[in-house]
Amino acid sequence: MTRAVELPLWLLVLILAFATVTFASHFLFPSVRWFFRKRLERAVARLNEKLERPIEPFKLARRYDMVQRLSYDPEVAKAIVEHARKAGIPEQVAFEKAQRYAREIVPRFSATAYFGFGIWLAKLLSRAFYRVRLGAFDEARLSEIDPDATVIFVMNHRSNMDYVLVTWLAAERSHLSYAVGEWARVWPLRTLIRSMGAYFIRRKSRNNLYRKVLSRYVRLATDGGVTQAMFPEGGLSLNGEVGEPKLGLLSYIVQDFVPGESRNVVFIPVAMNYDRVLEDRVLVSADIKGSRRFGLRFKYVARHVGRHLWQRLTGRFHRFGYASVSFGDPVSLVDYLDGRDPNDIMEPLGHELMSRIRDVVPVLPVPVVSAILLQHDGSSHAEITDRFEALVQNMEAQGAHVHIPRSDMNYAAEVGLRELLLRKLITKSGEGAEAAYHIHGPDRLVLAYYSNSIAHLSAEIEPIHISDLTPAEVADAAILP
């Protein structure tokens, strides 16, 4: 037993390596994980004291546990059997596929990443590019929402900045769990977005097994009280208008809801508008082509990023005008279901939510000036100012929420003109009172993109679509970069 044993050096190193890994995995790692998890739980407890809607335990569950729970869900199990039967594959293979879907969907939420780095970055970016203003906001009405209800923010989708703006503005209320599309599944963006609590969805997938796994995750999150944010339009608006709802995610939230047994769901309509949407030319070009393949070229992005950095360095950068967020009247699912057939509410509910979003779309200077010039191209400064005031008063009479910088109509009209001139979307001829403003021909649809965002708020604004233009005008507009 005490006899010396000779071993090759490589074998000794291998044995020591295995011993170290075994010790770490069985003794060291669990202790370290336990230590940091206890610290995290204490930090979350302190954070929850400040939040209006605390972070639910569902969000704090280990990702591995959540993937397992989703994979072994009874309804997912039925879908696995059905998928295996139809595809002619073993059930174990179908189960492994369902687990891959679950791992793809389930986020890896980090309270530190979200409330530390995420909120700070959202605030920094928002203020760096825009003058952010809060539009319609009935705090008393929102405070009346049952604390035990699951809150779902339903929003129009104008820009990828939407995520950033709402994340910052809702920071003091709760964490938001977003559904994000395939665009965010690239490294390293994927890891960051997962840590922020967002979950990935394949918007165009028709795979029944995938859709069942996704629907069960959404249902479990809803039952768990997770505050969520969704874009019912299913994608960015290409023409500036608030579009019609797509009912996929909404149906996952509503299905299997039983009043009196399920946790109530309260939808809060949120509307956003901008004096400048960063992707406006790309979106308009996609609308012209009739395709959501944006075809954004690297050289186009590099040119604009380079120009932006140069303007920052030389002190010539001007923020992109105003960005505003408004909150509409909440819709309680329990109240909405009262007296209605649960099987026939999806379309009416979707249209009701979109209607409430449209009602609170903020009115900003650039959309108003764009609407005026589209109807009265070549107007003088004085004419634009007069029409600006008349149009704003008309929309306010209809209940629209208008942001007037400095509460000065003349200054607001000047802001709109200045933003459009800086981007060379319009040109100016003459000086002083005789100065006239003209639309740059190829950019007519870009101005229409902004005008369309508020066209539903006034009968005096006529929305403009691709179908309204002649082939020559469309060909002219198609030269957009």
Residues 214-261 pLDDT 10s: 999 999 999 988 889 899 998 899 999 999 999 888 999 888 888 888
Q: Is the pLDDT of residue 59 over 90?
A: no
Please tell me which residue, 436 or 204, carries the higher pLDDT value: 436
- Mean pLDDT to the nearest integer, 19-33: 58
- What pLDDT is recorded for position 231? 92
- What pLDDT is recorded for position 259? 81
Tell me if the bond preceding 405 is cis, omega within 30° of 0.
Answer: no
443 with 335, same domain: the answer is no
How many domains, the chain?
2
- Mean pLDDT to the nearest integer, 469-475: 70
Please tell me which residue, 142 or 79, carries the higher pLDDT value: 79
353 with 374, same domain: the answer is no
Q: Is the pLDDT of residue 33 over 60?
A: no
| Domain around 348 | 31-129+138-273+325-358
Q: In the chain, pLDDT over 70 holds for what percent of residues?
A: 83
**CA 139, CA 327: separation in Å to the nearest integer?**
9
Six-digit token string for 209: 């097994």
Six-digit token string for 265: 């769901």
- Least confident residue range of 26-35, 74-83, 179-188: 26-35
337 with 455, same domain: the answer is no
Q: Would 7 be classed as within a structural domain?
A: no
Write the CATH number for 469. Answer: 1.10.10.10
- What pLDDT is recorded for position 36? 47
Instruction: Please state, as a whole number, how many other Cβ atoms lie within 10 Å of the Cβ of residue 255.
Output: 14
243 with 371, same domain: the answer is no
- Mean pLDDT to the nearest integer, 101-109: 87
Highest mean pLDDT among 4-8, 259-263, 357-361: 357-361
Of 315, 337, 358, the last residue of a domain is 358
350 with 401, same domain: the answer is no
Six-digit token string for 217: 């995750």
- Least confident residue range of 223-227, 244-248, 298-302, 362-366: 298-302
- Mean pLDDT to the nearest integer, 34-39: 51
206-212 long-range contacts, Cβ below 8 Å, gap at least 24? 208/79, 208/82, 208/83, 209/79, 209/80, 209/82, 209/83, 209/94, 209/97, 209/98, 209/101, 210/101, 212/75, 212/76, 212/79
Write the CATH number for 181. Answer: 3.40.1130
- What pLDDT is recorded for position 384? 95
110 with 48, same domain: the answer is yes
Please tell me which residue, 28 or 309, carries the higher pLDDT value: 309
457 with 347, same domain: the answer is no
431 with 376, same domain: the answer is yes
- Mean pLDDT to the nearest integer, 104-117: 79
147 with 253, same domain: the answer is yes
Please tell me which residue, 39 or 124, carries the higher pLDDT value: 124
